[in-house]
Structure 1
Amino acid sequence: MIPRTLTAVLRQRAASNPVVTLLGPRQSGKTTLCKATFSDKAYVSLEPLDTRDYAKADPRGFLDQFGDHGVVLDEIQNAPELLHYIQDRVDNNGNMGQYILTGSQNLVISAKVSQSLAGRTAILTLLPLSYTEISQAATPPANVWEAVWKGGYPRLYNQAVAPEEWLADYILTYLQRDVRQLVNVGNLDQFSRFLQLSAAHTAQEVNYTTLGNDVGLSHNTIRTWSSVLQESFLTATLTPWLGNIRKRLVKTPKQHFLDTGVVCSLLGISNPEQLRLHPLRGAIFESWVVAELHKHYLNQGKKPGLYHYRENSGLEFDMLMETPEGLTPIEIKSAQTINSEFFKNFTQAASREELATQLNVSQGKIVYAGDTPQTRHGVRVIPWGQLSGI
């Protein structure tokens, strides 16, 4: 097992809360992490129908078998009826870390957990492996394009499996099982087409009408389907930062896939070299960096403080990141050689007092696909493999 950065936070939250809820996409490593961290507890998956039926039909009897010592309950969204009974038990005995819950449906679980276990549970999110974690694998990626093409699902690094085959199976399982649980999709082929088009639009501002026209559905249906991607942790949106200059700013969120291996599989990119030459490599690399920074926050138990910025005039930053120094602009470049074009938006923003006072432009950062760090005019250029120090 590759050590997970979230382990220390998971232990700390279990020591100070009666319940810990760990969310994340399927196969991100939630079960493995919980079994390793809480090896003294019983483990029960709520995926098997007989176990699920028992939990729903007799929740008291189901929980009684674990006593006050507690249990790891995997995929709690399959038996949300248990939550009210868990509430009663933790209120009565006050034991910390008694119940460890996992789930792979974000909003559904968060809403039900917040309703039943408000003030009783910590909620954490585990995404696939960060590059910092992957670098500890027996055979880490040889270069940036292999890292981006392969993505971060643990199975690809813990076992000898072919990424293109495993990811294709993962997507098929997602379509056949998870999508059906979250929304009534009449035509899975149509949803599959939507998923492929969404992958082709990663790192772009969301346009439900355009996607709807391409798929042949209303923008309201596409909006619902896009929420399913977020619900299952396949994508995340960067909301626009509006500041105090609202009239000039584009107010549309950007959508990013949280695993670029999935993107490459959906787009039929079959190897790292093909990705390096692909016309969408810039967008895919941008989403890889955004996903890494999501993991940076989530692995500390924090909510991602990330936004994007674009003015109607054309000035933009791929990302704004909340840091102790303020809101720091970040540019993301898929080039492997530093050039003066990298810095033009920082220079333009610094020349405008109104903007420079709201953004920490002088401490800006550039993440690029090369290997050599550099600093120019206060702007740090960070290689793709050194994001942990951002």
Structure 2
Amino acid sequence: MIKRKIQQELAKLAQEYKVVTITGPRQSGKTTLARMQFPDYNYVNLEEPETRQLAERDAKEFLKRYSTPIIIDEIQRLPMLLSYIQVECDKSSAKGQYILTGSHQPALKAEVAQSLAGRTAILQLLPLSIEELTEAGIQLDRDEYLFKGFMPQLYEENIDITRFYRNYYMTYVERDARQLVNIRNFSSFEIFIKLLAGRVGQLVNLNSLAGDVGVSSSTLGEWLSILEASYIVFRLLPYFENFGKRLIKTPKLYFTEVGLAAYLLDLENPGMVTRDPLMGNLFENMVIVEALKARYNAGKDAGLYFFRDSNGLEIDLLQSANRKLYPMEIKAARTYNSDFAVNIRKFEKLNDKTAGGSVIYSGDNVQKIGDIQLLNFMDTAGIVH
């Protein structure tokens, strides 16, 4: 079983809060994390119909039968239970009595904010990181990572990768979509999500996509919100500051699991990834999610952006931390080229808050070139502040 970097943060929060809520994509390891950290806690899963029916019918009886300390899995299936948990929390000063897990980020966050304000900490667990895999003695090549992705089950069991993502899509993506909104035309929804995979790392343009899918841009906006709520995709926001230039204000789109994006692009093996024209986009997606994992695993907010202005100056990834800006350029190439750092140099002249920049690429030559760090993509977590 692969140890998770966020485990230390979970242990710390359980000593400070009465409730800790772990959110994240389905199959990202939320249950395993909770049970690994708290092996002596009672455990109950609200996906089980009988258990959920008991909690719906008599919440007080449910909480009496399943006493604290307890892990309650899939809490988004019964958000009304949070109000009863709040009442129980207020009866005791004990910390870490409830460990809750769930997906559907916006809905769950809203319910938690309403019922458990001041009583719970929230952790976001994404799939395995390269750092976690490396520490577990697992190391793959760039294109193997892009094809296989980072779902824990793929590394703990002998499962066909394409079959796994096919079933993941059918079992979870479609099911979550049905639960969150009434999608009548699933063929159009499938076209939409595949088109999104083909636009990884690009600016979100729903008006353009509407013509390709054959539905309105407002409907696509609703579908995109569903995919975000299920942790399938996320939007990387542009960084705004008065640099004296017109800035691009449209977000970029990435997949939380790059392996799912590769599957949706019909890539059947690492060799196809190597030759695919979107390989650079997939690589950028992977590096940005690795930075996001490192931030979340440390208990921090995302704090990640990109920068682009109307003159064509673009920074792939911009980290805001400690009142400083850390620009990063992401290149899939295995050989360093001095052109990789050109935009970082230009950005440094625009903003006096800029700290050391980094070029993240696929090569093995790790060094410092002036004030710019040249890093292999497997070291991404090391530059997250």
Q: TM-score, normalised by structure 2?
A: 0.97
Alpha-carbon shift at residue 142 of structure 1 (Å): 3.0
Alpha-carbon shift at residue 144 of structure 1 (Å): 1.1
Q: Which runs of 5+ in 2 are unaligned?
A: none
> For residue 255 of structure 2, what is the aligned residue in structure 1?
257
> For residue 9 of structure 1, what is the aligned residue in structure 2?
9
Task: Give the match's secondary structure for 1:77.
Answer: helix
**Separation in structure 2 between the aligned mates of residue 325 and residue 278 of structure 1, nearest angstrom:** 39
> For residue 49 of structure 1, what is the aligned residue in structure 2?
49
**Separation in structure 1 between the aligned mates of residue 84 and residue 316 of structure 2, nearest angstrom:** 45
Q: Which runs of 5+ in 1 are unaligned?
A: none
Aligned residues: 383
Deviation string 1:124-180 (CA, Å, 9 cap, x unpaired) is 010000001112345x24311111211110001011111111111111112331111
- Aligned partners of 1:20 and 1:123 also within 8 Å: yes
Task: Read off the aligned partner of 2:17 and give its amino acid letter.
Answer: N
- Aligned partners of 1:46 and 1:75 also within 8 Å: yes
Task: Read off the aligned partner of 1:366 and give its amino acid letter.
Answer: V
1:377 and 2:370 aligned: yes
Task: Give the match's secondary structure for 1:135.
Answer: helix
**Separation in structure 1 between the aligned mates of residue 123 and residue 263 of structure 2, nearest angstrom:** 28
- Cα distance 1:325–1:94, how it changes in 2: closer, same or farther (>3 A)? closer
**Separation in structure 2 between the aligned mates of residue 242 and residue 175 of structure 1, nearest angstrom:** 33
**Separation in structure 1 between the aligned mates of residue 309 and residue 174 of structure 2, nearest angstrom:** 40
> For residue 270 of structure 1, what is the aligned residue in structure 2?
268
1:357 and 2:352 aligned: yes
> For residue 197 of structure 1, what is the aligned residue in structure 2?
195
Task: Give the match's secondary structure for 1:157.
Answer: helix
Task: Read off the aligned partner of 1:383 and give its amino acid letter.
Answer: N
> For residue 308 of structure 2, what is the aligned residue in structure 1?
310
> For residue 25 of structure 1, what is the aligned residue in structure 2?
25
After TM superposition, the structure 1 = structure 2 runs for residues 1-390 of structure 1, keeping only pairs within 5 Å, are: 1-67=1-67, 69-137=68-136, 140-245=138-243, 247-324=245-322, 326-350=324-348, 352=349, 355-360=350-355, 363-390=356-383
- Aligned partners of 1:175 and 1:188 also within 8 Å: no
**Separation in structure 2 between the aligned mates of residue 383 and residue 147 of structure 1, nearest angstrom:** 14
Task: Read off the aligned partner of 1:381 and give its amino acid letter.
Answer: L
**Separation in structure 1 between the aligned mates of residue 363 and residue 321 of structure 2, nearest angstrom:** 24
Deviation string 1:13-69 (CA, Å, 9 cap, x unpaired) is 1111110000001000001111111111111110122211111110000001133x3
Alpha-carbon shift at residue 257 of structure 1 (Å): 0.7
**Separation in structure 2 between the aligned mates of residue 55 and residue 312 of structure 1, nearest angstrom:** 55
Alpha-carbon shift at residue 358 of structure 1 (Å): 4.0
- Cα distance 1:325–1:337, how it changes in 2: closer, same or farther (>3 A)? farther
Deviation string 1:184-239 (CA, Å, 9 cap, x unpaired) is 11111211111111111111111111111111111111111111111111111111
- Aligned partners of 1:364 and 1:378 also within 8 Å: yes
- What value does the CA root-mean-square deviation take over the aligned residues? 1.3
- Aligned partners of 1:25 and 1:234 also within 8 Å: yes
Task: Read off the aligned partner of 1:377 and give its amino acid letter.
Answer: G
**Separation in structure 2 between the aligned mates of residue 136 and residue 106 of structure 1, nearest angstrom:** 29
Deviation string 1:57-112 (CA, Å, 9 cap, x unpaired) is 10000001133x33111000111111111000010112111111000110000000
**Separation in structure 2 between the aligned mates of residue 386 and residue 358 of structure 1, nearest angstrom:** 24
**Separation in structure 1 between the aligned mates of residue 246 and residue 130 of structure 2, nearest angstrom:** 36
Tell me which stretches of 4 or more aligned residues in structure 1 moved more than 4 Å.
Answer: none
Q: TM-score, normalised by structure 1?
A: 0.95
- Aligned partners of 1:137 and 1:157 also within 8 Å: no
**Separation in structure 1 between the aligned mates of residue 51 and residue 129 of structure 2, nearest angstrom:** 33
Alpha-carbon shift at residue 247 of structure 1 (Å): 4.5
